[in-house]
Amino acid sequence: MTDISLPWTGEPVRVGLVGAGPWARAVHARVLAAGPETRLTSVWARREEAARETAAPYGADVAADFDELLEGCEAVAFSVPPAIQAELALRAVKAGKALLLEKPLGGDLSSARRLADAIEEAGVVSQLVLSNRYHPAARRFLAAARKLEVAGARSRGLSGAFLGGDFATPWRLEHGALLDVGPHLLDLLDAAIGPIERVRSAGDPRRWIDLTCEHEGGAVSQCSLSGSVNVPEGGTHIELFGSEPPLVYDTTGLDYEDAWPVLRREFATAVRTGVSGELDARRGLRLQELIAQAARG
């Protein structure tokens, strides 16, 4: 587990941010500006006013266009719809920039594969913002899970985000929970139980979709996903079953402020060493392959 109590002795990584929506303001800009491992140098977004509002609290510049943002940074963080991320990130790769990427990697499997292949060929650092994976509670859960012989699992990722508000965005409403929440649950199940070999689905990802995952070794996990249900608090819940008492991971009440310093430290370390961690673009491609398989039913 990353020890963020140790002082950061290197130069902060200069990061440019693409996007100025609610998630960019609430997480990316704030976390990257907090340092000491990173420094938010500039923000670029389609709406200049939104970019200014995002950059102003941290004294960051507002880039006139994407090329100007690339000129002033050594790493690029993306907080835009997946189809736009996959397109712009290719340009950042060609410019030799390290990438902090949102999930899913692309709007579809082909664009995700193009991006992952380009990153591998160029040898640039990449890292995914899979928020659960940076939380100490999730890391304890995964460490315990890997010691168990799991026969089966039940999980859910439920919220009312698509019913209205900041995250009822066009791409989420079009593609539903499978593309939005699916990467989180599939990543955790795959990491906790073992590689997923096959995914089947039933339902409508814009309303409610159930996944059945067959894992290497014979375990079976089930996952319910929806962003369109009225629940008191959205979140993730996983139960692992076997010969030992059930092992549970539940995000209810978790403070994600414990996750962001870990994400920032690991991204900066990857950039400074030139070595991506486990949660890189290749991991994002694997998750997108599972999502594509699930989408076929």
- Report how far residue 181's alpha carbon sits from residue 157's, in angstroms, rounded to the nearest whole number: 7
pLDDT confidence bin for 81, thresholds 50/70/90: very high
Residue 1 has pLDDT above 70, yes or no: no
- Report how far residue 111's alpha carbon sits from residue 118's, in angstroms, rounded to the nearest whole number: 11
Mean pLDDT of 201-212: 97
Examine the domain organization and report whether 120 and 176 are in the same domain: no
Give the count of domains, the chain: 2
Residue 111 has pLDDT above 80, yes or no: yes
Residue 5 has pLDDT above 90, yes or no: no
Examine the domain organization and report whether 127 and 144 are in the same domain: no
Mean pLDDT of 114-118: 98
Q: In CATH, what number is assigned to the domain containing residue 213?
A: 3.30.360.10
Examine the domain organization and report whether 117 and 46 are in the same domain: yes
Residue 195 has pLDDT above 70, yes or no: yes
Residue 288 has pLDDT above 70, yes or no: yes
Residue 271 has pLDDT above 80, yes or no: yes
Examine the domain organization and report whether 159 and 227 are in the same domain: yes
User: What is the pTM for the complete model shown?
Assistant: 0.96
Examine the domain organization and report whether 167 and 188 are in the same domain: yes
Q: Is residue 82 one of the residues assigned to a domain? A: yes
CB 138 within 8 A of CB 235: no
Examine the domain organization and report whether 25 and 62 are in the same domain: yes
Mean pLDDT of 44-64: 97
Average pLDDT, the chain: 96
Tens of pLDDT, residue by residue over 223-239, are 999 999 999 888 999 99
Examine the domain organization and report whether 105 and 193 are in the same domain: no
Q: Is residue 287 one of the residues assigned to a domain? A: no
* Least confident interval from 130-139, 167-176, 265-274: 167-176
Examine the domain organization and report whether 88 and 123 are in the same domain: yes
Measured in whole angstroms, the distance separating CA 161 from the mean position of its chain's CA atoms is: 17
- Report how far residue 29's alpha carbon sits from residue 61's, in angstroms, rounded to the nearest whole number: 12
Better pLDDT: 288 or 2: 288
| pLDDT at site 2 | 80
pLDDT confidence bin for 178, thresholds 50/70/90: very high
Among 256, 263, 292, 293, which Cα is nearest to 278's?
263
Examine the domain organization and report whether 84 and 148 are in the same domain: no
| pLDDT at site 233 | 87
Examine the domain organization and report whether 268 and 217 are in the same domain: no
Burial 144-153 (b: 16+ CB within 10 A, else e): ebeebebeeb
Examine the domain organization and report whether 147 and 121 are in the same domain: no
Domain with 56, as residue range(s), is 13-131+258-280
Examine the domain organization and report whether 101 and 45 are in the same domain: yes
